[in-house]
Structure 1
Amino acid sequence: MPNQRARPTLRRRRLGEQLAAKRVAAGISLETASKLMGWDKPTMSKVENARRHISTKEVDDLLGHYGVTDPAFIGAMAALARDAGKKGWWAGFGGVGDSYQDLLSVETDAEGVRFFSPHLIPGLLQRGAYARHVINASAITRSDEDKDALSRLRLARQSLLERSPNPLRLWAVIGEAALHQRFPDPDAMRDQLAYLLDVSHRKGITVQVMPLDSGGHPGLAGMFSIVNFPSPWPTLVHLENLRGGTFVEGTTDVTVFEEAFDQIVATAQSPDASRETIEKIMKEKHS
């Protein structure tokens, strides 16, 4: 089987896309940009297609040629150039596909994530036994070894919620049906609900329950998450499926999901009422 070229990191791809966008906005051709930098055209093309490393100085020079003066944007591009080739913290785990690596990279760079999850506790809030049951049921093409690695990785992701100095902010609206899930191990769901109740009191974490009798709301179309970044990076939407996940980008498409989430939040129980619901389910089903 022929060797496959390693996929460029998400950071390098985002850097290349942004540099290409600024070049086009400045009305400068690929050939002209190459000459301004003293490169040949293929080199410039490789930079924009994330196939060549570019230094922070080269980024600064390019943006200068494109007339970009915003210090926040220039700083963000320089940070991407500096970190583009670094291995992610997840490199030591097995079974991590390209789409999952992209998600982990996005979460690592994010300021906050808003989830709507009708049937599952979101991955960033899952505990060990619950996570393993979910992965065993959904990762149907993976080996037992991969499933073990993915279970450990799912828990490791949660360190983002405690990172210093800027922990990841999390807002999760979870369908009540997810709280009634049963597994062969009766302790798994009880421990998961207890953890969910605990984290709901943490600063920067909001948990709401969408009751079974909520009626119609935009979340009936399925689960999604909205990921926010520091300026100047735009907000992304992540959609999950059995084969991994995809990202929705672009202001118009992202706005649809943000408006949908606002309606979902308004329909769901308040955080205090949600904690009461979780406690009630724990007492009725797991006492």
Structure 2
Amino acid sequence: MPVPPHRRSPTIRRRRLSRELRKLREESGLTAEQVWRRLEWSAGKLSRIEHNDWRRPNPRDVKDLLDLYGITDESRREALITLARESRERGWWETEFGDVLGGDYAGFEAEAERIHSYEPLVICGLLQTAAYARAAIRGDMIRDPEEVERRVALRMKRQAILTGPNPPTLWAIMDEAALHRPFGTPEERIEQLERLIATGDSDHITVQVIPFSVGMHPGLACGFALLDYADPDESSIAYVEMGGNALYLERAEDLKSHSLRFQHLQAAALSKDATTAFLKRLRDDLK
């Protein structure tokens, strides 16, 4: 299914353009040094292009590379130059929340067709209430009230992909520990549990809880997300956040490893229906 216009992400366009240009250079037989010397660029400029470390690709640079690589097919040239123009656009997450945006995750998430999320200690960001998000952000050493509210607003707007047309499929697994960490008032905790309970009626959202009774399992070290895309030319991404550092993994072996880990966590967790019943018991205990 084509990606709806409101979910097209320049972050994804930039990644594809970088990948295509690196592939064309390799096919041309030219080394990176030969390219940047012939174009009288710095070595860093070509490296940023090929490693997707750029924000607003210059179509003129893309034309120069295509000329150097001997790409004469007009349709292919136009497709890549158009990709460069699209890559220069800014997603809503950049235009509205650039001051509090940390990394590229929102851009990768925006166009995903399928999101598999696992969290050992907190609730998945796409399923958090504003009160829970506010407490979690404050707990992450963000003290400025205005910045906290900006980050809450960003997180709430990210959630819109779940309620808009052609939403992605979200499969969120969490350890029971995430549900017992206290925050806010009892009413706010009940609101968060009811938010999770409501997903039980959704066709495109699955929530599972791994209960303490399971004991040790393969997800105790850290959380991660797997993002898959409708376009077969877009490779999946494994996103891992550890100690405030984000890793974006694209190698086949890394994707396979995290996919296998997620399958083990699915098997260890309560079923969707059993999870809903479990969440209702936690909610009722707070009333």
Q: Normalising by the residue count of structure 1, what TM-score does the alignment of the two structures yield?
A: 0.80
**In structure 2, C-alpha distance between the alignment counterparts of 1:63 and 1:40, rounded to whole Å:** 8
Any idea what SS the aligned residue of 1:209 has?
A: strand
Give the CA deviation at 1:95. 3.8
Q: CA-to-partner distance for each residue in 1:155-179, whole Å, 9 max, x for gaps?
A: 0000111232x21211001111222
Alignment partner for residue 124 of structure 1, among 123, 126, 130? 126
Match of 1:20?
A: 22
Question: What amino acid is aligned across from residue 167 of structure 1 in structure 2?
Answer: P
Match of 1:86?
A: 89
Alignment partner for residue 110 of structure 1, among 89, 109, 112? 112
- For structure 2, which runs of at least 5 residues remain unmatched after alignment? 1-9
Match of 1:4?
A: none
Give the CA deviation at 1:19. 1.0
Match of 2:3?
A: none
Question: What amino acid is aligned across from residue 175 of structure 1 in structure 2?
Answer: D
Q: In 1, are the aligned partners of 2:59 and 2:84 still within 8 Å (CA)? A: yes
Q: In 1, are the aligned partners of 2:36 and 2:46 still within 8 Å (CA)? A: no
Give the CA deviation at 1:24. 0.7
**In structure 1, C-alpha distance between the alignment counterparts of 2:60 and 2:227, rounded to whole Å:** 27
Give the CA deviation at 1:9. 6.0
Q: In 1, are the aligned partners of 2:62 and 2:84 still within 8 Å (CA)? A: no
Indicate how the Cα distance of structure 1 residues 12 and 48 shifts in structure 2: closer, same or farther if over 3 A, else same: farther
Of residues 104-113 and 44-53 in structure 1, the stretch that sits farther from structure 2 once superposed is 44-53
Give the CA deviation at 1:117. 0.7
Any idea what SS the aligned residue of 1:208 has?
A: strand
Q: In 1, are the aligned partners of 2:63 and 2:81 still within 8 Å (CA)? A: no
**In structure 1, C-alpha distance between the alignment counterparts of 2:133 and 2:92, rounded to whole Å:** 20
Q: CA-to-partner distance for each residue in 1:42-66, whole Å, 9 max, x for gaps?
A: 2998466336412799499579946
Indicate how the Cα distance of structure 1 residues 27 and 265 shifts in structure 2: closer, same or farther if over 3 A, else same: same
Match of 1:146?
A: 147
Q: CA-to-partner distance for each residue in 1:213-264, whole Å, 9 max, x for gaps?
A: 1123211222111111232111111112453522122111121111110111
- For structure 1, which runs of at least 5 residues remain unmatched after alignment? 1-7
Give the CA deviation at 1:189. 1.2
Match of 1:278?
A: 279
**In structure 2, C-alpha distance between the alignment counterparts of 1:205 and 1:157, rounded to whole Å:** 15
Any idea what SS the aligned residue of 1:213 has?
A: helix
Indicate how the Cα distance of structure 1 residues 141 and 128 shifts in structure 2: closer, same or farther if over 3 A, else same: closer
Match of 1:177?
A: 177
Q: Normalising by the residue count of structure 2, what TM-score does the alignment of the two structures yield?
A: 0.80
Alignment of structure 1 residues 167-246 onto 2, 5 Å: 167-229=167-229, 230-246=231-247
Question: What amino acid is aligned across from residue 239 of structure 2 in structure 1?
Answer: H
Question: What amino acid is aligned across from residue 219 of structure 2 in structure 1?
Answer: G
Q: In 2, are the aligned partners of 1:59 and 1:78 still within 8 Å (CA)? A: no
Any idea what SS the aligned residue of 1:220 has?
A: coil
**In structure 2, C-alpha distance between the alignment counterparts of 1:252 and 1:63, rounded to whole Å:** 33
Give the CA deviation at 1:28. 3.8
Any idea what SS the aligned residue of 1:222 has?
A: coil
Give the CA deviation at 1:88. 1.6
Question: What amino acid is aligned across from residue 137 of structure 2 in structure 1?
Answer: I
Superposition RMSD in Å: 3.4
